[in-house]
Copies of this chain bind each other. A is one copy, B any other.
Amino acid sequence: MVSRPHTGRRRNEAARRAVLAATISLLRRSEMKDVTIEAIAREARVGRQTIYRWWPSRAVIVLEAAEDYAEATVPDPGGAATDDLRTFLRATYVGAASDRTAPILRAIAAEALVDTQFADVLHRFTAARRAVLRSILQRHGASPELSEYLSDVTYGLLWYRLLVGHAALDETLADTTAALVVEAIEADREPRLARMPEPGLP
A interface vs B, CB < 8 Å? 31-33, 84-87, 90, 106-107, 109-110, 112-116, 119, 122-123, 126-127, 148-149, 152-153, 155-161, 163-167, 173, 176-180, 182-184, 186-187, 192-193, 195-196, 199-200
The A contact surface, by secondary structure, is helix
Give bound CA distance, A182 to B187, whole Å: 11
Asked if residues A183 and B192 are in contact (CB atoms below 8 Å), the reply is yes
Q: Which residues of B contact A165 (CB under 8 A)?
A: 119, 123
Asked if residues A166 and B123 are in contact (CB atoms below 8 Å), the reply is yes
Q: Quick one: given A160-B155, A196-B182, are A114 and B110 in contact (CB under 8 Å)?
A: yes
Taking the full assembly, how many copies of this chain does it contain? 4
Which single member of B31, B110, B186 contacts A192 (CB below 8 Å)? B186
Looking at A178, A180, A186, A192, which has the most chain B CB atoms within 10 Å of its CB? A180
Q: Which residues of B contact A106 (CB under 8 A)?
A: 113
Which single member of B156, B180, B182 contacts A160 (CB below 8 Å)? B156
Which residue of B has the minimal Cβ distance to A88? B199
Between A and B, 23 residue pairs with Cβ closer than 8 Å are: A32-B113, A90-B199, A109-B163, A110-B110, A112-B164, A113-B163, A122-B163, A126-B166, A149-B173, A149-B176, A152-B160, A152-B161, A153-B157, A153-B177, A156-B158, A156-B160, A178-B196, A179-B196, A180-B180, A182-B196, A186-B192, A186-B193, A187-B187
Which residue of B has the minimal Cβ distance to A117? B31
